[in-house]
Structure formats: structure tokens, C-alpha cells
Amino acid sequence: MSSEPAAARPSFDTGLEPGAIDPERPRLVETPWGVQALYRVGGEILCSQAFCPHLGGPLFQGTLSGATITCPWHQWRFDLRSGERVDLARPRRGPGSEPLRTCDVLLSSAGTLVLAHPQRHS
């Protein structure tokens, strides 16, 4: 987490303090960009879209291993830092094969988690 984002950059203050994120289960947050999931990985808070880009599976209900989340529907695995697929032994192409949207997580001056606008990394 870094300092509060610049005013020109679209962001969303979750109103949550870092201690509100349970390391055992993600925290869903309704944002102007749809539902996002906050994960605690070690001392870091990571954020991604809550539903799998493949077929809309509940990614937030998947298995978390380090910073990798596995979708419970079809076992697609994604790196929560970059959004990239990491199970490319069987590459898939076409609709739904894009990376996850992730949000940078910042800390406001009030100590709450602020999400930067989601982005897909290439």
C-alpha cells in the first residue's frame, strides 16, 4: 500500500481499515466498477475483480495459495498482483481468456483502504 492517490486519478475509498481484511477469506466490496475482492497476502492487501473473466465463476470463493487464486469452476489460476493467468500449460484463447482486472490498493490519510481504478495488465 502506498500513500493516497492523486486527485486526478479515479479512486474509491472502501472505508475499511487494513485490519478488517481476514487472511482466511477475501472481503467483497461494491465499487463504481462492480464487485471487487480484497485479499490479505502476508502483509499486503491485494484487490481483483471478484468473478472469473472466463465464465463469471465466483473467483472470490476459489483457493488462495500465496498471491495465486484458483477459480472453483474450471481451475483457472491467476496472479493477484498482475492479473495474469498462471496455468498456461493448456493455453486458452478467445472470449474470457483476458487477465483479471486488478486495483492498486492505497492507504488514505484517514487509514482506510482506497482502490485505484481497475486495470488489466498486458
Q: What is the pLDDT of residues 5-54, one digit of tens each?
A: 444 558 999 999 999 999 999 999 999 999 999 999 999 999 999 999 98
The pairing of strands 113-116 and 11-13 is antiparallel
Domain count, the chain: 1
Taking a C-beta distance cutoff of 8 angstroms, is the pair 81, 67 a contact?
yes
The string of pLDDT tens digits covering residues 59-99 is 999 999 999 999 999 898 999 999 998 886 655 666 667 88
What is residue 97's predicted lDDT score, i.e. its pLDDT?
73
**Is 70 part of any domain?**
yes
**Domain ranges, residue 107:** 11-120
**4 lies in some domain:** no
Higher pLDDT, 115 or 5: 115
**18 three-state secondary structure:** helix
Please provide the average confidence, as pLDDT, over all residues in the chain.
88
CATH of the domain at 47: 2.102.10.10
